[in-house]
Amino acid sequence: MGLSRRGFLQRIGMTGGYAATYSAMVSLGLMAVPARAGPLAMPANLGAGKSVVVLGAGIAGLTAAYELERSGFNVTVLEARARVGGRNWTLRSGDKVEMVGEATQTVAFSDRLYMNAGPARIPSHHTGLLGYCDRLGVPLEVEINSSRSAYFWSAGSNGGRPIQMRQGVNDTRGYISELLAKALNKGALDHDLTAEDRERLLPFLRAYGDLDENMAFRGTERSGFAQLPGAADQFGKGRDPLPLKELLANDQLRATLFEDQLYMQATMFQPTGGMDRIAAGFQRAIKSPLILNAEVLQIRQGAAGVEVAWRDRATGASQATRADFAIVTIPLNILAKVDTNFDKPVKRAIASVPYDYSNKIGFDAPRFWEKQQIYGGISFVGGDTSLVWYPSNDLHTARGMLLACYGSGPNAKGFAARPLEEQVAIARSVVGRLHPGHEGELTSPAVVNWSKIPFNLGPWPAWEGQGGQEGHLDQPAYRLLNEPHGRVYFSGAHLSQMPGWQEGAVLSAHRTLGQIASRVSQSVAERRGARPAA
């Protein structure tokens, strides 16, 4: 006679305690996975006598290995690169950038400078990742994601001159407030608002847009000063407002809303010294074998376990690793080329997922932007390079890392097809549009085209190409690959609702760990239940 669900959970509780019962309930759909969670608390002896091979040492693989090891599993991690971290990759002087079809670049930044080639910021609500930073002793500092002294630029607006963010934000608010006040006073919204609502809304609009007593926008000191106030009788003089027509003509006007996106809202964080400090923290903490330069060639699973054949890229030697379970975090476009005995629907799902394009170009430069009161934040330029991102760290030092390109999507695909020298020249010219005369001060460029990076060949899945939307992914391939297949479990940011964020990797790993914990606990409970009474 089979176990009831209640009996099954009771036996899991007797075997593994609360944490195992919780994991089982999540796996059975009886409890929701928390939207945000810190490091797991699985039973210390849950994995005794069980083994797991983790394929890929990105954030998902490192999270899984760390937690499995703490729960008593025998863990082996195989990573094709000569480093851990996956897309979590920080470049420093002397590092090599190898891209398919391109000459190898050797980074030549000044001392202390670094470029986060992959993720570069952590939202404050990504508590899973932040929890590991805390546990692993990774110091954090504030990442300044927005500066009202930065710019947005469009060739067809303001005579080709950049518009300072504070003026764009506040002038636009002023005009919108004036227009809405006019509509209210003309009775255009009487069907939507009561007289009491109207009386309350008008004062708010006056404050929100800094309107005059006639509910007209004449400019605001919030947009900056033409002459700064100073000592004695040096009175401040506000800027004249930009014409609404010029603001609307700027196709980067929507960038004034950038910092209002949930994932971009203050406070943002970055690890002190580079994003790869997180991966290094995991690497220090994991005592199990973590084998680098191990390129996976074949995955075979059977009733008794999983066998992974791999090649040591340093020596060329072929080896095999066997385990009870495998957690596969390899990007799907790379996994599609691995020889496996997965079921045909699984193989088709893996092969069906397209990957996006993304580029970054960084320069070593004197901090000329700080003379324009830009400390961190982003200027938006659109086009192939998209933006200029200013460093948040080491303010008021001699030199800084200026990111002059971070673009994704169709524009990034075309841009990556250009010769590297041309990519650098375009990025340099964009900086010159924002900061005339300073483009010649940019040195030591480093170019990263993620579509050419070995073992990635893209930054994240383009689920949108299959009709998906970040935060609401539910395509057939996505659903199928989020389920166990025999003894193989797929995991990674690419199988989360946040495929571009490290938090997605952490939460995907946690879900996978819950599935394995439930399976192991069920097996132990069933064995104990089958024992004859003494």
Going residue by residue through the chain (534 aa), what tens digit of pLDDT does each one get?
444 545 544 544 444 444 445 444 544 444 444 544 567 878 889 999 999 999 999 999 999 999 999 999 999 999 999 999 999 999 999 999 999 999 999 999 999 999 999 999 999 999 999 999 999 999 999 999 999 999 999 999 999 999 999 999 999 999 999 999 999 999 999 999 999 999 999 999 999 999 999 999 999 999 999 999 999 999 999 999 999 999 999 999 999 999 999 999 999 999 999 999 999 999 999 999 999 999 999 999 999 999 999 999 999 999 999 999 999 999 999 999 999 999 999 999 999 999 999 999 999 999 999 999 999 999 999 999 999 999 999 999 999 999 999 999 999 999 999 999 999 999 999 999 999 999 999 999 999 999 999 999 999 999 987 666 788 999 999 999 999 999 999 999 999 999 999 999 999 999 999 999 999 988 777 776 655 544
Confidence at residue 38, expressed as pLDDT on a 0 to 100 scale: 64
**What is d(CA 515, CA 522) in angstroms, rounded to the nearest whole number?**
11
| CATH for 95-150+265-272+357-452, options being 3.40.250.10, 3.90.660.10, 3.30.2130.10, 3.30.70.250 | 3.90.660.10
Are 500 and 508 a contacting pair, CB within 8 Å? no
Are 426 and 134 a contacting pair, CB within 8 Å? no
| CATH for 166-251, options being 1.10.167.10, 1.20.1440.240, 1.10.10.10, 3.40.50.720 | 1.20.1440.240
**What is d(CA 40, CA 318) in angstroms, rounded to the nearest whole number?**
35
- Residue whose token pair is 């990774």: 138
Residue 262 in tokens = 């949930």
Confidence at residue 478, expressed as pLDDT on a 0 to 100 scale: 97
Confidence at residue 357, expressed as pLDDT on a 0 to 100 scale: 98
Confidence at residue 40, expressed as pLDDT on a 0 to 100 scale: 82
Confidence at residue 468, expressed as pLDDT on a 0 to 100 scale: 65
Q: What 3-state class would DSSP assign to 346? A: helix
User: Facing residues of 366 across strands?
Assistant: 399
Task: Say if domain 48-82+292-352+470-527 classifies as CATH 3.50.50.60.
Answer: yes
Q: What 3-state class would DSSP assign to 406? A: strand
**What is d(CA 98, CA 118) in angstroms, rounded to the nearest whole number?**
15
**What is d(CA 206, CA 203) in angstroms, rounded to the nearest whole number?**
5
Question: Domain residue spans in the chain?
Answer: 48-82+292-352+470-527, 95-150+265-272+357-452, 166-251
Confidence at residue 284, expressed as pLDDT on a 0 to 100 scale: 99
pLDDT (tens digit per residue) in 246-293: 999 999 999 999 999 999 999 999 999 999 999 999 999 999 999 999
Are 481 and 442 a contacting pair, CB within 8 Å? no
Question: Is it true that 95-150+265-272+357-452 and 166-251 share their CATH fold?
Answer: no
Read off the pTM.
0.91
**What is d(CA 114, CA 92) in angstroms, rounded to the nearest whole number?**
5
Confidence at residue 465, expressed as pLDDT on a 0 to 100 scale: 72
Region at 366 (left for phi over 0; alpha for psi -120 to 50; beta for the rest): beta
pLDDT (tens digit per residue) in 68-93: 999 999 999 999 999 999 999 999 99
Confidence at residue 467, expressed as pLDDT on a 0 to 100 scale: 61
Q: Residues with Cβ < 8 Å from 210, sequence gap 6 or more?
A: 170, 173, 174, 217, 220, 221, 222
**What is d(CA 251, CA 346) in angstroms, rounded to the nearest whole number?**
42
**φ/ψ (deg, to 5) at 36:** -140, 135
Are 461 and 469 a contacting pair, CB within 8 Å? no
CA torsion, ordered 291, 292, 293, 299, to nearest 10 deg: 50
- In the DSSP assignment, the letter for residue 336 is T
